[in-house]
Structure 1
Amino acid sequence: MSFITTIATANPPHLFRQQDIAAFMLSSMQLNEQDSRKLNVLFKASGIETRYSMLEDYGKSGDFTFFSNLDSFEPFPSTKKRNEAYQQYAPLLSTAAASKALQQSGIEAKQITHLITVSCTGSYAPGLDIDLVESLQLPLSVQRTNIHFMGCYAAFNAIKVADAFCKMNSSVKVLIVCTELCTLHFQKQNTEDNLLANALFADGSAALIVEASSSKKSLQLTGAYSELAPQGSKEMAWAIGDWGFEMKLSSYVPDVIRSGIKSLTNRLLSVLDLSQGNISHYAIHPGGKKILETIEQELGLSKEQNKWAYHVLKNYGNMSSPTVLFVLKEIFDRLGEENDKENLISFAFGPGLTLESMLFQYHHG
């Protein structure tokens, strides 16, 4: 068995209103009147009010520190420059989230036996895992696992790996850190994919403590199920380009999710001889407002049942892999003794097109 006993989050120091980011995008992408209207419509319809970034430039109209100050924005930051920024900033944000998790859990750094890092927005070696060993003063013998380039659903794979470690040894204590700096990879070319990505993505980090047993407040992992929807493989993708990482994010993604979300839910629940009526809480990755609305329609959910996904989308945007953990934290923090033994189901989606689901049971301790 495995239990999530702590969920902590962290964001960069720079918080921007969605309309301020829109103004930056309009200037940098050099859009004509028609495309400017399209961008403004996308931003207003996104369901996002604020987003965080490690870069201060998104709230400025000039005197940039990361992007070029020429009207053309040339030379545009290379992939090398963006990855160097990732190497500078990702350890800081990851350490902030992980330090909160350790403090809240009451577990000392020396007690951590396994470290799992998750990211798809940068890479280097020696990597983020080793930086965390040093900054958190984890044991030099800590077992390290890195999960890279899996996108928005990657946190689920980290939890599965932690669950496997817990089943191997009842004394393990696993620290999971999911960190993404999506805003490093802003693309100024005027394409539908870029317009959509530029309206959604943000930076953030989430850290979990997973233990093999628990007598305190926790979420027990009771089931997991994933499926591929190959017909959506071209609708969501993530590639390394010369000028940063390039996101392929089609407006058809909600339609692909619509075709698979109900069967995904039923197959996960059937393994445990449960039905949707046994589910009390939903933690859905807010990949976008339309995705949330599509899932509600297919599963017969109300906006009230899905309110914490909207809350995270509104205040943080889509931060890729940590985002669903932000939603999970909002729910977990509010569960009390009256919710003991209630079931929570969670979903996340990513390249492939991958549909991931997990089932948890809440224990008040």
Structure 2
Amino acid sequence: MKSYLCAVGTANPDHKIPQMQASGFMADVLQFDAAEARKLAALYRVSGIENRYTVLEDYTRGNGSFEFFPNTADLEPFPQVAPRMQVYREQALPLSLKAIQNCLESNESLDLQQVTHLVTVSCTGMYAPGLDIEIIESLSLPTTIERTSVNFMGCYAAFNALKLANTICRSQPEANVLVVCTELCSLHFQKSKEHDHLVSNALFGDGAAAAWVSGKAPKGVSLAFEAFHCELMSSGKKDMAWHIGNFGFEMTLSAYIPDLIKKGIRQLSVNLLSRLNLDLPDIKWFAIHPGGRKILEAIEQELGIGRAENRFSYAVLRDYGNMSSATVLFVIKEVMKSLGPENDGERVLSFAFGPGLTMESMLLKINYV
């Protein structure tokens, strides 16, 4: 039995913030001197990001007109976890619904009433009864839908959700699985001059993505799941981590991550492709999670691919930044938009990375009906 990724929808909050404006905001609230502000601007300028989106309008305002952060020079008292989670609860549902609607619009054959399973994914907020139940209630979906939540796994979590959806559809041919990844990363701004926090603040934005997985291929383009492969690089355990602190969720993102990924990406690819007796030259399309510009460049160097082959990841990084688990689905959507009947049978190789250091890979076969 086969299963297919039939459609992907994406959504972002209303507040768009240019990258260099974000740099100015951070320099102001961190009370940087002129030299520190110049260094921060250089970090933001070379990130490969031009714009990001946020649910917090404060990032587009000057101090004195904040609604979420305190209107004090040092942002004290700095918001603790509870008010951040309150905003998550208010904003996660409408953004998720927007992504689901976009998914439905991408393929008119999809019918929400045919959904049998719902998988929600997030590492930036949690509550119960949760987002999964609110989605069902808001869309008047059958209350018999089977629900699973994938939480706190970071940027690679969409792969675990897709693996689950694939397993369900292969064992239950009539199943239709809706996967919804919703991340509000901007809620977790850390008021810290530590390099890891400065990098995290420079990369992450807010977004949601919805994916429809079915045992039946729809008309038009879809992607058949062929293989998954995961590897754990314990040597990078301390270089990418995600902890709940008193003032939000704290991301550790060291400068060594691109080198770690570079060391493992070729073997990860070989181990995946060898299952189908394929080699890298057999791959025409790439959907790589843009964890950062240096990560994309490291993968290109190691696999011998060019920026043109990796263009979809650069475009998503440029326009949205890193939106944790939702990001790779943004990339896959861009790939799918470029496919036609002439691409039937070609392959898409996809990667994502996260705490652990976890390296996920997935091989998809283009199907055009």
Give how far 1:33 is off: 3.3
Q: How does 1:69-218 map to 2 (within 5 A)?
A: 69-105=71-107, 106-216=109-219, 217-218=221-222
Q: How many residues align?
A: 365
Note if 1:38 corresponds to 2:42.
Answer: no
Structure 2 residue aligned with 1:347: 351
> Tell me, what secondary structure is at the counterpart of 1:177?
strand
Deviation digits for residues 310-338 of structure 1 (CA, Å, limit 9, x no counterpart): 00000000000010110110010110011
Greater mean alpha carbon deviation, residues 209-218 or residues 87-96:
209-218
Q: Structure 1: 5+ residue runs without aligned partners? A: none
Could you tell me which of 230, 238, 253 is aligned with 2:242? Answer: 238
SS at match of 1:251: coil
Matched with 2:292 is: 288
Deviations 1:96-122 (A, max 9, x none): 101222343332222100000000000
C-alpha separation in 2, matches of 1:283 and 1:183: 24
- Residues 54-82 of structure 1: CA deviation (Å, up to 9, x unaligned): 11111111300111111110111110000
Q: TM-score, normalised by structure 1?
A: 0.99
Match of 1:313 in 2: 317
Maintained 8 Å contact 1:236/1:248 = yes
Q: CA deviation at 1:215?
A: 4.5
Alpha-carbon separation, structure 2, partners of 1:99 and 1:137: 14
List structure 1 segments (4+ residues) > 6 angstroms apart after TM superposition: none
Q: Deviations over 1:235-268 (max 9, x none)?
A: 0000000000001000110011011000000000
Contact persistence 1:166–1:172 (CA under 8 A): yes
> Counterpart of 1:262?
266
Q: Retained in 2: the 8 A contact 1:109–1:139?
A: no
Which amino acid is the alignment partner of residue 318 of structure 2?
K
What is the distance in 1 between the residues matched to 2:358 and 2:146? Answer: 28
In the alignment, the residues of structure 2 paired with residue 279 and residue 88 of structure 1 have an alpha-carbon distance, to the nearest angstrom, of 42
Displacement after TM superposition at 1:276 (Å): 0.7
Give the letter aligned to residue 346 of structure 1. Answer: S
CA distance in 1, matches of 2:99, 2:140: 15
Question: Kindly, what percent of the aligned residue pairs are identical?
Answer: 50
Which of 324, 331, 335 lines up with 2:328 in the alignment? 324
Matched-pair contact (CA < 8 Å) for 1:153–1:349: yes
Once superposed, what is the RMSD of the aligned Cα atoms? 0.9
Report the alpha carbon displacement of residue 37 of structure 1 after superposing the two structures with TM.
2.3
Structure 1 CA distance, aligned partners of 2:275 and 2:39? 45
Q: What amino acid sits opposite 1:139 in the alignment? A: P
1:334 maps to which residue? 338
**Residue aligning to 1:64:** 66
Q: Partners in 2 of 1:269 and 1:355 — Cα distance?
A: 15
Cα distance between partner residues in 1 of 2:218 and 2:205: 36
Q: Is the 2:6–2:218 Cα contact (8 Å) retained in structure 1? A: no
Deviates more, 1:28-37 or 1:165-174: 28-37
Following TM superposition, by how much is the alpha carbon of 1:308 offset from its aligned partner in structure 2, in angstroms? 0.8
Report the residue type matching 1:13 in the other structure: D
Contact 1:287 1:318 in 2 (8 A): yes
Once the two structures are superposed, residues 260-306 of structure 1 have per-residue CA deviations (whole angstroms, 9 ceiling, x without a partner) of 00000000000111111110100000000000000000000110000
Secondary structure, aligned partner of 1:322: helix
Q: 1:221 is matched with which residue?
A: 225
**Structure 2, unaligned runs of 5 or more:** none
Question: Which AA in structure 2 matches 1:82?
Answer: R
Counterpart position of 1:8: 9
